[in-house]
Amino acid sequence: MSSTAAHAPLAIDARAVRRIYKSKPKPVVALDGVDLQVEPGELFGLLGPNGAGKTTLIKILTTLLLPTSGSASVFGFDVARQTRELRRIMNIVSGGEQSGYGLLQVREQLWMFSQFYGLGVREGWRRVDGLIDVVGLEEQRLQKVSTLSTGQRQKLNLARGLLNDPWILFLDEPTLGLDVSAARSVRELVEEWQQTVPGRTILLTSHYMAEVEQLCDRIAIVDHGRILASGTPAELKRRVQAESIFRLEVDRLDGGTQMLARLPGVLSAVLPSASDLDHAADRQTVLIKLTLEQDAALSGVVAALGAAGSSIVSLQKSEPSLEDVFVELVGRGFGESEGDGEGPRDRLDPPAGGQPADDSYVSAEPVETAHK
């Protein structure tokens, strides 16, 4: 893919997207006016509980489902009117997917998909063998897919998703059900692929806070079909902690914490409770929890401690977590989800029962390779 020009379209541009499913006793609103813009080259994360609307949004962006209202485009291709063009430049990998045939060998499975994607025979084999090496399945290349471990199968799924060299890759819970080692391996492969060519874009959905924070340039928090907030991890954290909190350790503190509490910009200076201290009885230093209006006030604290003859042993800033942000915005943690608003449709398959509010499932034609 060529480098992104200044006038290039957004990688994702969704405007007021709504998706309503017909259901009893009342319709289910899976998406409720979603606005989302992702720049080319971004690794963008959607963070939310089951039923939040993440998978429904991915279905719409990958042309598997039409929006009830609103509009969406991917690299300038309209998801409703330009499905063939869009499918040539995108691909999707889901956690726990069982695509293909277990009786085929790894190499045969990937070559089969290369033909689905419209690659020539020679080019197909070239990409198959290259991706087998990239994802670390060299020793399993002639092994039957049915005998692969869960982690190996997900590496195979990732290789399948990269066969058509997509401009944008949609990852829906890609490390779901993987052990720590396998999940780390998948994350490393994703990062390496995205960074190899400028402009490659990834939309990642996940329940895992640490995974999203590690990988994503920007994050949107989704709940009940709405985007509640978006920004970089640091920007989102600042939403729930306007003040700056530091854990300060000094060798001595003449005058007590009151001396620090009176300084400009200091909101509070207190000694931590005994339960917050490690080996409190053996401690030869003084620990202080400082709350400041902003980081700039720290210089006055350092100067005052120096004038009082105190030496700083350690200084650590306390940061809120993404989970703190999530709880602040939606009022509950992931473990307190109110149920699966998307129900059986919270997977990348058409629903087995029930119908959308309109006939809007798009036929799943094979993804074709982009001619670059």
What pLDDT does 363 receive?
Answer: 41
Strands 286-292 and 28-38: unpaired
**CA-wise closest residue to 216 among 9, 17, 39, 2:** 39
Q: Round to whole Å and give the CA distance between 43 and 150.
A: 25
Distance CA 163, CA 159 (A): 6
Per-residue pLDDT band for 6 (boundaries 50, 70, 90) equals low
What pTM value is reported for the model?
A: 0.76
| Rounded average pLDDT over 17-32 | 93
How far apart CA 137 and CA 335 sit, in angstroms, is: 35
Neighbours of 49 (CB within 10 A): 22
Look over the chain and give the mean of its residue pLDDT values, rounded to a whole number.
Answer: 84
Task: Tell me the C-alpha distance between 168 and 79, whole Å.
Answer: 14
pLDDT value at residue 304: 93
Backbone angles phi, psi at 153, to 5 degrees: -65, -35
The tens digit of pLDDT for each residue in 313-358 reads 999 988 788 887 887 787 665 555 454 445 444 445 433 333 444 4
State pLDDT tens for residues 89-133.
999 999 888 777 889 999 999 999 999 999 999 999 999 999 999
With beta carbons less than 8 A apart as the criterion, state whether 291 and 243 touch.
yes
Q: Omega into 25 within 30° of 0, i.e. cis?
A: yes
What is the pLDDT at residue 34? Answer: 97
| DSSP per residue, 111-134 | HHHHHHTT--HHHHHHHHHHHHHH
How far, in Å, CA of 370 to CA of 177, rounded? Answer: 32
